[in-house]
Structure 1
């Protein structure tokens, strides 16, 4: 599975063709007509293919030779249909299927130099201008006319209708047929230098339409193997792939175990969508439920709720067979563990109990009834239910019925009590029962422990780590390896529907260096051991450019994006090119008039606020940062777009070190309430008023604005370092009339805190993980450096995996290897520009020319998922 993600309208699922185009770079075509097998392509067909190639290049895509050959065998009608559908999917991915006319059509040249003077002119016009009177600004006669539908009186001499795309007074969209608007008088100058984007991809021929199902099954298998929660885009794709490749009547494709809990709920709910198949699927559903929370997630998804249980769900009615199946699944679980799971979502379970009616089936499913009785604190009397509950409780070692209510001794209560009393001796054996919880609380345990107990904690860690999910190990490793030094701040990403970072002062004392070193060795050693269990290869290639990327975390809240970039990752920005931020949104019927604002906050080396570029200040330092103007409404179907041009050289000269990009909802409308909302950035070669304002060829990233948040902080630019760090977080705001300068202090805290987090080593880098996997699997590892040179490392006799992994990237290298003459079966790349042997595996941030038919394409999440416990 690739890392490039194609998105459609906010919140909408994309079709199977778009899913496979995104994940595999594959295009599927109707079977050619019988005559096409023997006939020579016509001149018109070849011309059509050339035109399609030109259109694709303008969007940053190329045709592979085999896809071009396959297209040449189609009829003209088939070619037109295939080209139209392909371009439509790509335009939706890039955002090129929307109107992107800014307020000032000649942006950036026509953006006012004095924002305050422009504002004063607008205010004077609103307060003083009268119909059929001379213009209050210039005194001209017969030049003042109302515009529709806002009816503001506008002077055509003072406000150029060829430049404005909306009312110059209120900046709301106006009737496209209003005489004030004269867009035909403006034609952008054609650009002369337009480089291809870094994300350039070669599209390959996936086969006939019938081949799509096979490839869909391959992608579905990869998603079902993921250990962590899926991103929103992967969740959408899962639904599409299930509809295409899943079969409710034959479950041979369904794995016995689905490690991702939320993924499991989505799949089981999909299986239960057709009542006619319940006889086949219900046993499969019951057998795959291993915790009480699995039942709750399943019920939530079937009711249209969240598989992650992050938001309350209004549970819908359940059919009798399904109700009994859920109670049967609960009845087969350990009562104490099930009761503990229920405590984590107490209110949700009480609401679900109203649909399950567990006490009506207490005799048939006594364990389930006892669990609900403990949750509800049911009072025991002399009735039949109480008798059943007492009888069942006698078989549960941790249950007690001495009091009028059923009581269960819960593991979590015992652990929290022991930790609150700083009793490491009592807490350690309890945590050892659940290895994942031991790793999550490792730092806390080591802080509480003296030297003797710290050794016992580390011994328990060594015993527990082979059973823990890889994502938990990597999170614990990143956290613990920074604990030998005093930290200034702690950064949390609380579980929730939005990626909101919480930053507090770090009050923890450092841990002893010897303790940290042993913990790191244990955790790293386990990752290397798991990598060594994967299929061995002779040669692996590793790009040094991956060092700026992070291992994915908190994917549940990741934005749907053109390029799936793990949160916290840093990439270089091209030298000598303008960065153009863009924003587009469209109101829905329920949202009413909505005003989103694209803004940039600038800070110096000390994170002191030095300037802004937004609707309150359209220019910063001349042309260092230029805003396209503030549109204040976005009615369908046109919507509204805003842009900010950034000249990094001029920003640096103006004393700017860091720039934080922000999107605010000025009038407090949530992003999810809009029909469409997305943003991104381009890397432009042109200067000033050249080329189209929105050039899909130059789009490097495009992402959806979703959730109930009103402020998004997508990225941070290090002006001096010429890098972009992908943050993908939201900021909590209240009220209306948001402007970036009012939030400057909070943005400085956020930017500094996240920069510190991702540069401290507290998050494992993707380059590190790739190095460990390459060391565990390959006999020879070749590192490709940013300057194009390579360094070769061969595992030496008696060299351990740990030693080999440590040596990779150091000057202690071996004789060079000619990659052009070597079969490479494993690669971790920034760009897929390396020829791999058939059947090889590759991660590439930008897949470029890698062909999914010959190479198994991996996403960043797949690199983690491959390291599952044995």
Structure 2
């Protein structure tokens, strides 16, 4: 996303180094290592009391101190402890959203939410139409209590409406100016106490570890940077922010930290742009740029990023001037490429490249960089003449078989057009020969190739040596050379192709996660062909996993089957819990769900009305109701809205809430609740000063406890980008699960409401729910089993009740057979893995011990200490399977 002064995520708002390491490693760093991290023999009473108070504050936010961190805090003097504690709590509050005012429209929500939304609305309309300052109240008839409110100037009767409960204009719901007499200062200062101390700790509970001193912090930042640079796929926006934070700890004049290759193309662009921010470092950084940039698109991404645009090329800004030394270096990179491939890359982003070429001046340097000039000339279809440039282009074209300079213009035959022509002519053999040059593209077109080779035209394809066997043979050759995300995507999609009649879901490339859903009109593939192709792809995953370091034992949580392996991360929301899109988590019995939304206007946005809403559907996706600003209550207390704010001025902003009682909703015939955030007056989220939403899973019924309880926040995510409507999750009321969708909805016009968009929300909810339940996306639990089977002799599966099923690879049992057996009743009578021998653990919660240095993934890290084990993210479980990656 382009950084702008009004964006909610400018460089200045990016979380700092300490906050990034706290979120990623659960580590707290202190300015010094007092006493080497050892508490004094007799710590003072004040020191112990101070740490105890800090721990109490952390518990109220869902965090605990480890023994090591507690021992490191005790020796601090009062000033140092206070400073460290305040900084820690501030970082946590910001991550949870607890650093903002969350007073709802009705202060005593949900108890004081009106039972009749229409009656409440009509009272406001009558007041607007009929109320006069010198006449009795049109609603109650009382005199002397009519006052205009600021800034809206609506005339309000203080007898009918009380500022002790309503904290905005009761007519237009606009935030009132500070000091407005209608507001009750005592009510504003009143804080609803938390309920009993028996509240459960959140599922995302984290036990904070002592990371060490500032030197240790720098070392850990280097480790995190190395991990991000090794990722092959596009980073999420949060990871991209953290990448820049970690880069700021490095030196541009000493590049020993920079790897020989950066496989992630967008990551590479951000790193190269960071290197080039200081011209004084060009003698060191320009050679590194020339070494790492190895495609024409790399050069374009770099230029876009330097100009303030997005490395994903979702929006191309006006290009800034390119300094002469950099221009020479980039032209040298282009000149070293195959002009045919360079021209093909340029055509993918032709408009952007035509503008970029104006900054590089390739024709002025055609004598020194003729191949670069030829590629740009082919993009522009430059007219040839008798001039010196034309002569140089003709000379350069002699070394490029695909170049054609026999006519009046420069042309290079397009690889993609030849592929399309071969597929259109059903010439599978020709298509395979072309796609062999780009194995990733072969896997993306695998379904099409198999339909041609094994469908109605199978005999014709086989006659040209392009039958299903040829496609599968080409797949075997291509699979070892593709990115792991492409491999898993093809595997998930292909294994659902035995049947037809379902919807297809596309996630178009762009700045937001939009889902495009259409009927699947493709003919199904034969089961035999699907099984053979899936076996090839699964075998490749197992082969890559087996190339990593072997271990004695591994543990896999069965609960990970509901978590989806990450995909399309570049559009993922910045969130408290990094939950891959499509994942499903359980809402424990006896607990209720409270949704929340907070936003604050900026000068750019002006007055903005965001609306938190829930559309309610039956099992067959027929709409049965809603809970939003037009219906504050659904079936009594089954769903309750906190009231509609229509403005959110700084510095407080505004917050809205919805309580969902899943048992009551189920009794009312509701199966699915699709949550949405809609910009009523069509303001883009990115124009706001800030906007975020989330969900709490609460123990307390009704109005008991704080309205916003940081301890009970399970997820908090930012609303960003040009979208006006976000659909964060769908709740399966009967199954008591929440499925994380993290998508946006295309909307047009103004006056957006869940009523207006309910049909689109039904299509979206149904399509995505069916997609993720179908197996078309590989589950993290499956991936964990494959990794464990390929690397461990013994694998234990932990079930929901905590019991273990144990499997040991048998003599003569292949890895594929072992992986297929894990999770079945065919277990082995072997002891449970000892913690000291458990080298791999894939867990929903990091509450099992593992060997020192073990690789551990946990969706909720809990007590994992990144200093003791190697804590992997979900994205790293995928990226560490990159082709050609050395063993761990």
When normalised by structure 2's length, the TM-score is: 0.96
Q: CA deviation at 1:41?
A: 2.8
The separation in 2 between residues aligned to 1:30 and 1:687, in whole angstroms, is 43
The separation in 2 between residues aligned to 1:536 and 1:456, in whole angstroms, is 34
In the alignment, does 2:236 pair up with 1:231?
yes
Is 364-373 or 186-195 further displaced after alignment? 186-195
Match of 1:734 among 748, 758, 769: 748
Match of 1:202 among 200, 204, 207: 207
Residue pairs, 1:361-760, within 5 angstroms: 361-450=365-454, 451=458, 452=462, 453-760=467-774
Report Cα offsets for 1:211-270 as digits up to 9, x if no partner.
1110001000100111100000000000000001x2212211111111100001111111
Shift of the 380–190 alpha-carbon distance from structure 1 to 2, 3 Å rule, reads closer
The separation in 2 between residues aligned to 1:37 and 1:808, in whole angstroms, is 46
The separation in 2 between residues aligned to 1:512 and 1:117, in whole angstroms, is 60
Q: Verify the 8 A CA contact 1:60 1:200 in the aligned structure 2.
A: yes
In the alignment, does 2:248 pair up with 1:243?
yes
Q: Verify the 8 A CA contact 1:489 1:504 in the aligned structure 2.
A: yes
Q: Which residue of 1 is the match for residue 263 of structure 2? A: 259
Report Cα offsets for 1:763-817 as digits up to 9, x if no partner.
1111100000000000000000001110000001111000000000000001152
The separation in 2 between residues aligned to 1:336 and 1:188, in whole angstroms, is 68
Q: Verify the 8 A CA contact 2:835 2:851 in the aligned structure 1.
A: no
The separation in 2 between residues aligned to 1:348 and 1:689, in whole angstroms, is 55
Q: CA deviation at 1:37?
A: 8.0
Q: Verify the 8 A CA contact 1:9 1:92 in the aligned structure 2.
A: no
User: SS at the partner of 2:838?
Assistant: coil
Q: Which residue of 1 is the match for residue 183 of structure 2? A: 181
The separation in 1 between residues aligned to 2:611 and 2:415, in whole angstroms, is 49
Q: Verify the 8 A CA contact 2:563 2:584 in the aligned structure 1.
A: yes
Q: Verify the 8 A CA contact 2:204 2:714 in the aligned structure 1.
A: yes
Q: Which residue of 2 is the match for residue 779 of structure 1? A: 793
Q: Which residue of 2 is the match for residue 4 of structure 1? A: none
Shift of the 353–517 alpha-carbon distance from structure 1 to 2, 3 Å rule, reads same
Match of 2:275 among 243, 246, 271: 271
User: SS at the partner of 2:531?
Assistant: helix
Q: CA deviation at 1:42?
A: 2.1
Shift of the 223–699 alpha-carbon distance from structure 1 to 2, 3 Å rule, reads same
In the alignment, does 2:23 pair up with 1:19?
no
Is 743-752 or 812-821 further displaced after alignment? 812-821
User: SS at the partner of 2:416?
Assistant: helix
Q: Verify the 8 A CA contact 2:618 2:671 in the aligned structure 1.
A: yes
The separation in 1 between residues aligned to 2:556 and 2:389, in whole angstroms, is 64
Residue pairs, 1:141-220, within 5 angstroms: 141-185=143-187, 188=192, 190-192=194-196, 193-220=198-225
User: SS at the partner of 1:742?
Assistant: coil
Q: CA deviation at 1:160?
A: 1.6
User: SS at the partner of 1:559?
Assistant: coil
The separation in 1 between residues aligned to 2:628 and 2:127, in whole angstroms, is 22
Q: CA deviation at 1:400?
A: 1.6
Q: CA deviation at 1:838?
A: 0.7
In the alignment, does 2:58 pair up with 1:56?
yes
Q: Which residue of 1 is the match for residue 829 of structure 2? A: 815
Shift of the 591–72 alpha-carbon distance from structure 1 to 2, 3 Å rule, reads same
Report Cα offsets for 1:724-780 as digits up to 9, x if no partner.
000000000111111101111111111000011001111111110000000000000
The separation in 1 between residues aligned to 2:634 and 2:308, in whole angstroms, is 47
Q: Which residue of 2 is the match for residue 287 of structure 1? A: 291
Residue pairs, 1:335-354, within 5 angstroms: 335-354=339-358
Q: Verify the 8 A CA contact 2:512 2:743 in the aligned structure 1.
A: yes
Q: CA deviation at 1:86?
A: 0.2
User: SS at the partner of 1:740?
Assistant: coil
The separation in 2 between residues aligned to 1:215 and 1:439, in whole angstroms, is 37
Q: CA deviation at 1:582?
A: 0.1
The separation in 2 between residues aligned to 1:514 and 1:755, in whole angstroms, is 27
Q: CA deviation at 1:577?
A: 1.1
Gaps of 5+ in 2: 1-6
User: SS at the partner of 1:252?
Assistant: coil
Q: Which residue of 1 is the match for residue 93 of structure 2? A: 91
Shift of the 9–375 alpha-carbon distance from structure 1 to 2, 3 Å rule, reads closer
Q: Which residue of 2 is the match for residue 790 of structure 1? A: 804
Is 437-446 or 401-410 further displaced after alignment? 401-410
Report Cα offsets for 1:699-719 as digits up to 9, x if no partner.
000000001000000000000
Q: Verify the 8 A CA contact 1:226 1:865 in the aligned structure 2.
A: yes
Moved over 6 A (4+): 33-39
The separation in 2 between residues aligned to 1:381 and 1:240, in whole angstroms, is 51
User: SS at the partner of 1:863?
Assistant: helix
Gaps of 5+ in 1: 1-7
- Supply the RMSD in Å over aligned alpha carbons: 1.4
Q: CA deviation at 1:117?
A: 0.4
User: SS at the partner of 2:175?
Assistant: coil
Report Cα offsets for 1:808-839 as digits up to 9, x if no partner.
00000011523456531110000000111111
User: SS at the partner of 1:825?
Assistant: strand
Shift of the 664–37 alpha-carbon distance from structure 1 to 2, 3 Å rule, reads closer
The separation in 1 between residues aligned to 2:878 and 2:730, in whole angstroms, is 26
The separation in 1 between residues aligned to 2:56 and 2:830, in whole angstroms, is 40
Q: CA deviation at 1:33?
A: 6.7
The separation in 2 between residues aligned to 1:117 and 1:733, in whole angstroms, is 30
Q: Verify the 8 A CA contact 1:32 1:74 in the aligned structure 2.
A: no
Report Cα offsets for 1:628-661 as digits up to 9, x if no partner.
0000000000000000000000000000000000
Q: Which residue of 1 is the match for residue 3 of structure 2? A: none
Q: CA deviation at 1:124?
A: 0.2
The separation in 1 between residues aligned to 2:384 and 2:78, in whole angstroms, is 78
Q: Verify the 8 A CA contact 1:711 1:732 in the aligned structure 2.
A: yes
Q: CA deviation at 1:64?
A: 0.3
How many residue pairs get aligned? The number is 862
The separation in 2 between residues aligned to 1:655 and 1:448, in whole angstroms, is 46
Shift of the 37–694 alpha-carbon distance from structure 1 to 2, 3 Å rule, reads closer
Q: Verify the 8 A CA contact 2:804 2:832 in the aligned structure 1.
A: no
The separation in 1 between residues aligned to 2:655 and 2:332, in whole angstroms, is 54
Q: Verify the 8 A CA contact 2:796 2:832 in the aligned structure 1.
A: no
In the alignment, does 2:343 pair up with 1:334?
no
Q: Verify the 8 A CA contact 2:39 2:72 in the aligned structure 1.
A: no
Q: CA deviation at 1:132?
A: 2.3
Q: Verify the 8 A CA contact 1:33 1:75 in the aligned structure 2.
A: no
Q: Which residue of 1 is the match for residue 4 of structure 2? A: none
Match of 2:105 among 79, 103, 119: 103
Shift of the 237–747 alpha-carbon distance from structure 1 to 2, 3 Å rule, reads same
In the alignment, does 2:94 pair up with 1:80?
no
The separation in 1 between residues aligned to 2:34 and 2:379, in whole angstroms, is 65
User: SS at the partner of 1:565?
Assistant: coil
Q: Which residue of 1 is the match for residue 841 of structure 2? A: 827
The separation in 2 between residues aligned to 1:318 and 1:155, in whole angstroms, is 64
